[in-house]
Amino acid sequence: MTQALTPLSLPPVPREFGFFVDGKVVPAGTRDLSERRSPAHDVPVTRIPKCTTADLDAAVAAARRAFEDRRWSGLGGAARGAVLLRAAALIRARAEEIAYFETLENGKPIAQARGEVMGCADMFDYASGLARSLHGDSFNNLGDGLFGLVTREPVGVVGLITPWNFPFLILCERVPYILASGCTLVVKPSEVTSATTLLLAEILTEAGLPDGCMNVVTGSGSSIGQALIEHMDVDMLSFTGSTAVGRRCVEAAGRSNFKKLGLELGGKNPQIVFADADLDDAADGVAFGIAFNAGQCCVSGSRLIVERSVAEAFAQRVQAKLARLRIGDPLDETTQVGAITTAAQHDIILGYIQSGQEDGARLICGGEVLDTGEGRFITPAVFTDVTRDMDLARDEVFGPVLVILPFDTLDEAIEIANDTVYGLAASVWSKNIDTALTVTRRVRAGRFWVNTTLAGGPELPLGGFRQSGWGREAGVYGVEEYTQIKSVHVEIGKRTHWGE
Ligand code: TXE
């Protein structure tokens, strides 16, 4: 890994990127460019082309050719795995550059970005093994005349739409698994954080991925994104983002070619704290769960459901942890919480802080715009006197805003936790194994943490119950998701003729 410059400085001029089709960088040429300004410093850091729908068609056609001529899916799993392993090594080698652009475009702390990039390399390592171990099933119990096979085949051309909160991590929770399955893909990253997706395309080509297997088109959701979800020649779409756009994906799939969908959408995730928990650990976890990535995580623990007997003292502990956070310049190595990524998100968060108070909730700390002279920073807000019907308790804020909802009994804790349209993630804090396991069984969420939060790795699948989405990414399930199942019936010997 190259050494970080200390202290890191802003780029003197924004870096201009092309998009990526059929193994090559395509310069912007006459296309419009969108300029990204660092959310923490308000200076231009990247320029990205606004692709046209013709560019999208070219990218899908390249992915289609690469799929149909079997240049990738026809390779053995070992050969595909070798490419993914080389990509992992190249990600590690270029980790500093990737982390730097992630921080510049997203506003997350550089130390956090580096950790995420290393986690991404690990995704490629793990998926390389899955390329080899992916297999189907067989039925040798159908009688002497029939043998049954269940094979898995790659779905085909995958469209992948990613958001701005973890541009590289969310990408790498999907791309190596998609490639391990033998599919080819076209990625449309968020228009505000496209740089690191373009870097990954270069890395994969250098690692030996055949041309056309990974293509990247850049541009807005309403133009290029919408065209991708409606595309007739895309076999599957994986979308991560808002529930509203997830709904559009479902509608577009119905209107076009019934493409298979994977959706990872919003969450309003409970942190359920019992009085018998290690309350110091739990307070640390709750503070981390709401302030990490400035609360811009689909799995943020945004509802603190805490046993009433300890609720007030516990809230003070959380407040004390939040008060010690180092918020500010994400290029500073010691920063823990960086900037709010987009101006629109900044307004959404402040809007909830304002309307929550108007609805009668009490702000006990934070919720202020930090005056750093430049950039967008909000101190983590904690609300009490919240009722379950308030927007603050029901909507995904997608920012550092925690609501406290006390409970008296285990059943009530579970009922409050399940009182949401979402079901993405949940955490329970208790040293009583019966309590912890009962909550784990009965709360509806796709990712669960017991006495920890926001932990994860390439082995464990991601995805939600209810309106948090469809399907799973990562783990063995993450590769299987990108396959179709075929059942094969093989007659052995002479066929028994009809009617005989
Ligand atoms: O998301 P969008 P936004 C939630 C969070 C946040 C809200 C809005 O609550 O406040 O969404 O954020 C592309 N067809 N999450 O507006 O619009 C877009 O270009 C196809 C939760 O940024 O959903 C980007 O690449 N694509 C979430 C991606 O969709 C479209 C992460 C996500 O953008 C499109 C982000 C369209 N019509 C936001 N419109 C999570 N679950 O992690 C937009 N896009």
What is the number of structural domains in the chain?
2
Q: Whose CA is nearest to atom 3 of ligand 1?
A: 242
Residues 400-452 pLDDT 10s: 999 999 999 999 999 999 999 999 999 999 999 999 999 999 999 999 999 99
Cβ(407) – ligand 1 distance below 6 Å: no
Q: Are residues 50 and 106 in the same domain?
A: yes
Residues 217-254 pLDDT 10s: 999 999 999 999 999 999 999 999 999 999 999 999 99
- Residue 77 in tokens: 């799993």
Which CATH number fits the domain that encloses residue 242? 3.40.605.10
Q: Whose CA is nearest to atom 26 of ligand 1?
A: 225
Q: Are residues 82 and 19 in the same domain?
A: yes
The whole domain housing 410 covers: 270-450
Average pLDDT along the chain:
97
Sorted by sequence, the CB contacts under 8 Å of residue 169 that are 6+ apart come out as: 116, 119, 120
Sorted by sequence, the CB contacts under 8 Å of residue 233 that are 6+ apart come out as: 60, 61, 64, 157, 257
Strands 260-264 and 469-470: antiparallel
3-state class percentages of the chain: helix first, strand second, coil last, to nearest 5? 40, 20, 40
Q: Whose CA is nearest to atom 28 of ligand 1?
A: 163
Q: How far is residue 443's CA from residue 413's CA, in Å, rounded to a whole number?
A: 9
CA distances for 410 relative to 13, 310, 389, 394, 400, angstroms: 56, 14, 21, 21, 27
Q: Is the predicted pLDDT of residue 1 greater than 70, yes or no?
A: no
pLDDT of the residue at 500 = 84
Asked if 48 and 17 touch (Cβ cutoff 8 Å), the reply is yes
Q: Count of CB atoms within 10 A of residue 387's CB?
A: 12
Q: Which residues are catalytic?
A: 264
On whether residue 432 sits in a domain, the answer given is yes
On whether residue 491 sits in a domain, the answer given is no
Q: Are residues 99 and 202 in the same domain?
A: yes
On whether residue 39 sits in a domain, the answer given is yes
H/E element, 140 = none
Cβ(248) – ligand 1 distance below 6 Å: yes
Q: Is the predicted pLDDT of residue 476 greater than 90, yes or no?
A: yes
Q: How far is residue 304's CA from residue 288's CA, in Å, rounded to a whole number?
A: 12
Q: Are residues 347 and 385 in the same domain?
A: yes
pLDDT of the residue at 371 = 86
Cβ(245) – ligand 1 distance below 6 Å: yes
Q: How far is residue 339's CA from residue 437's CA, in Å, rounded to a whole number?
A: 37
On whether residue 118 sits in a domain, the answer given is yes
Cβ(473) – ligand 1 distance below 6 Å: no
Apex 320 CA angle, 456 and 386, nearest 5 = 80
On whether residue 2 sits in a domain, the answer given is no
Q: Are residues 176 and 278 in the same domain?
A: no
* Unique residue bearing structure tokens 């080389």: 86
Q: Are residues 318 and 196 in the same domain?
A: no
Q: Are residues 432 and 482 in the same domain?
A: no
Q: Are residues 274 and 261 in the same domain?
A: no
Asked if 15 and 46 touch (Cβ cutoff 8 Å), the reply is yes
Which CATH number fits the domain that encloses residue 279? 3.40.309.10
Q: Are residues 121 and 239 in the same domain?
A: yes
Residue 198 alpha carbon to ligand 1 centre in Å: 19
Residues 339-391 pLDDT 10s: 999 999 999 999 999 999 999 999 999 999 998 888 999 999 999 999 999 99
On whether residue 248 sits in a domain, the answer given is yes
Flag whether the pTM goes above 0.85. yes
Cβ(77) – ligand 1 distance below 6 Å: no
Q: Are residues 197 and 161 in the same domain?
A: yes
Cβ(170) – ligand 1 distance below 6 Å: no
Mutate to test the pocket of ligand 1, among 108, 245, 470 (most ligand atoms within 8 A of CB): 245
* Unique residue bearing structure tokens 């991708």: 228
| Of the candidates 422, 20, 385, 360, the residue with the CA atom closest to the CA atom of residue 212 | 20
